[in-house]
């Protein structure tokens, strides 16, 4: 059973770097929030992140762009679950491209 969650975030100047792009640490925090939401939805309880893996920033996300984070539970076992998070941005012309992706390991607490 695959459980998923989608979060939308408009990038504002607060989480941006000096070049007007989403700061990588803040992008990772947003991805973690999406993973947490998917894991909580899957378990109906409290969860904790134990690991991130293979996080890639494929393209910068500029101030004003809409970032759509989709988190899906892709694997579960007795002790943990793996969440895949993809971050898509939409251009002013409406074209959507992958900006970031990564795996998050979560456990129920």
The string of pLDDT tens digits covering residues 1-28 is: 566 889 888 887 777 778 889 989 999 9
CATH number at residue 56: 3.10.129.10
CB burial string 48-64: b at 16+ within 10 A, e below: eeeebeebebeebbebe
75 lies in which domain range? 4-108
Count of domains for the chain: 1
pLDDT for res 11: 84
pLDDT for res 39: 94
pTM: 0.90
pLDDT for res 33: 96
Q: Mind listing the pLDDT tens digit for each residue in 56-105?
A: 999 999 988 999 999 999 999 988 999 999 999 987 788 899 999 999 99
């Amino acid at each position: 059973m695959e459980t998923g969650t989608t979060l939308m975030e408009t990038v504002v100047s607060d989480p941006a770097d000096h070049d007007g792009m989403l700061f990588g640490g803040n992008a990772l925090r947003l991805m973690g929030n999406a993973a947490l939401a998917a894991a909580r939805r899957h378990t109906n309880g409290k969860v904790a992140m134990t690991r991130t893996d293979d996080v890639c920033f494929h393209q910068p996300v500029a101030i004003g762009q809409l970032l759509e984070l989709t988190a899906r539970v892709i694997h579960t076992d007795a002790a943990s679950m793996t969440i895949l998070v993809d971050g898509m941005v939409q251009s002013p012309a409406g074209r959507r491209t992958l900006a970031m992706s990564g795996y998050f390991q979560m456990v129920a607490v």
